[in-house]
């Protein structure tokens, strides 16, 4: 199968490498950054230097491929998906754009495209597990997702390193958070409702509202659904100060006759400080709690994940947990285990236990282990 990964960054590159180790795939990687592409030179991957912001470039590029992985930054993601679907190509997506992916469902059905969206860690594998449990329960009462990608070593002042596109990280601090409470959608600013939560082996982390429910708000019939992002204590306040001061604003301002976006200025200063240096260890923390009723009993399903940088393959944890979910989704489609035409969020995959088991097994083989706990009362 001829597969192309659009984007060769922190997550896109490791995805291409994972697929290239599998003799079933002929792998290509495209990116505007030659430096990113050069990091793939030691692997059997054909690289293409191209501007992926052009829809026409995308359509022309993907026409000769069996499948596409969309790993561009979020602000480009929706238009890139649209172009891929218009080209009639099956696609696995991890771009996490702010737009509703179901807006592309009619187009995908028309072009007979299977499009798996949000196939990362969370959203992504978290949705698969939630979809699986939802179909087991007679009633689903609540879903809570806590997730964060962090450096193992905390360094002042930010105690954070960007383990995926830094522009998308800032989006988490500015995009309003949507969640479901008592059957009603609530919209709150990001970074709100901070709380301290203890995690074994890590310590105390800070959780805040973020817009991570995405399709779950529409597809899971439960009165309470919420997703929160995890950071080390103190990080939230710093980000809130920057946001409220205007450092994350996109509208240009004039300084000494020069117009500049505050976000561009902030990114120029922050990103070098947030860069994860080679060999630095990052960790991914995920906890999912799903409560409901089964056979008249109250039951809670909990899934825990703690993953770290792999020194053997020199792959950061966020690339492992996000990227390998997507590459397992590619294998899922290749094997014909899932073939529904249209837009498919991961929770639809999870409703088929065989698909859920296939994804978990592939991740386990790559050292990514989700721990399941079931409590009845």
- pLDDT score recorded for residue 3: 98
Instruction: Provide the pairing of β-strand 114-116 with 258-260.
Output: unpaired
What CATH class does 125-308 carry?
alpha beta
- pLDDT score recorded for residue 141: 98
CA 142 to chain CA centroid, nearest Å:
22
Which two three-digit tokens encode residue 176?
């309003």
Return all residues near 110 (Cβ < 8 A) that are at least 6 apart: none
The answer to whether residues 101 and 118 touch, using CB atoms and an 8 Å cutoff, is yes
Return all residues near 274 (Cβ < 8 A) that are at least 6 apart: 158, 160, 161, 162, 166, 169
Helix (H) or strand (E) holding 376: strand 371-376
The answer to whether residues 71 and 6 touch, using CB atoms and an 8 Å cutoff, is yes
Per-residue pLDDT of the chain (377 residues; tens, 9 = 90+): 999 999 999 899 999 999 999 999 999 999 999 999 999 999 999 999 999 999 999 999 999 999 999 999 988 999 999 999 999 999 999 999 989 999 999 999 999 999 999 999 999 999 999 999 999 999 999 999 999 999 999 999 999 998 777 778 888 899 999 999 999 999 999 999 999 999 988 999 999 999 999 999 999 999 999 999 999 999 999 999 999 999 999 999 999 999 999 999 998 899 889 988 887 899 999 999 999 999 999 999 999 999 999 998 889 999 999 999 999 999 999 999 999 999 999 999 999 999 999 999 999 999 999 999 999 98
The answer to whether residues 342 and 114 touch, using CB atoms and an 8 Å cutoff, is yes
- pLDDT score recorded for residue 277: 84
Q: CATH homologous superfamily of domain 2-122+318-368? A: NAD(P)-binding Rossmann-like Domain (3.40.50.720)
How many CB atoms within 10 Å of residue 285? 20
Per-domain boundaries in the chain: 2-122+318-368, 125-308
């Amino acid at each position: 199968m001829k597969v192309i990964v659009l984007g060769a960054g922190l997550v896109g590159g490791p995805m291409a490498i994972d697929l290239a180790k599998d003799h079933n795939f002929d792998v290509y990687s495209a990116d505007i950054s030659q430096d990113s592409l050069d990091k793939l030179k030691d692997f059997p991957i054909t690289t293409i230097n191209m501007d992926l912001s052009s829809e026409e470039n995308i359509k022309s590029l993907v026409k000769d491929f069996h499948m596409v992985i969309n790993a561009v930054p979020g602000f480009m993601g929706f238009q890139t998906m649209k172009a891929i679907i218009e080209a009639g190509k099956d696609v696995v997506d991890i771009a996490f754009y702010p737009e509703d992916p179901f807006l592309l469902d009619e187009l995908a059905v028309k072009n007979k495209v299977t499009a798996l969206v949000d196939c990362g860690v969370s959203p992504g594998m978290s949705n698969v597990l939630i979809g699986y449990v939802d179909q087991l329960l007679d009633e689903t009462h609540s879903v809570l997702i806590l997730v964060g990608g962090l450096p193992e070593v905390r360094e002042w002042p930010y105690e954070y390193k960007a383990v995926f596109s830094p522009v998308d990280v800032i989006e988490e601090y500015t995009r309003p958070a949507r969640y479901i409470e008592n059957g009603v959608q609530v919209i709150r600013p990001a970074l709100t409702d901070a709380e301290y939560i203890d995690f074994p082996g890590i310590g105390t982390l800070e959780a805040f509202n973020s817009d991570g429910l995405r399709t779950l708000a529409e597809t899971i019939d439960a009165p309470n659904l919420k997703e929160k992002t995890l950071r080390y204590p103190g990080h939230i306040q710093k980000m809130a100060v920057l946001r409220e001061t205007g450092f994350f604003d996109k509208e240009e301002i004039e300084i000494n006759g020069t117009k500049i976006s505050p976000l561009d200025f902030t990114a120029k200063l922050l990103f070098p400080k947030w860069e994860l240096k080679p060999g630095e260890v990052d960790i991914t923390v995920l906890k999912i709690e799903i409560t409901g009723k089964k056979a008249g009993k109250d039951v809670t399903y909990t899934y825990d994940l703690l993953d770290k940088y792999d020194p053997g393959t020199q792959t950061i944890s966020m690339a492992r947990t996000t990227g390998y979910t997507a590459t397992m989704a590619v294998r899922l489609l290749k094997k014909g285990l899932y073939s529904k035409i249209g837009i498919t969020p991961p929770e639809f995959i999870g409703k088929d236990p065989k698909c859920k088991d296939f994804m978990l097994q592939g991740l386990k083989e790559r050292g990514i282990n989700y721990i399941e706990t079931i409590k009845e009362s």
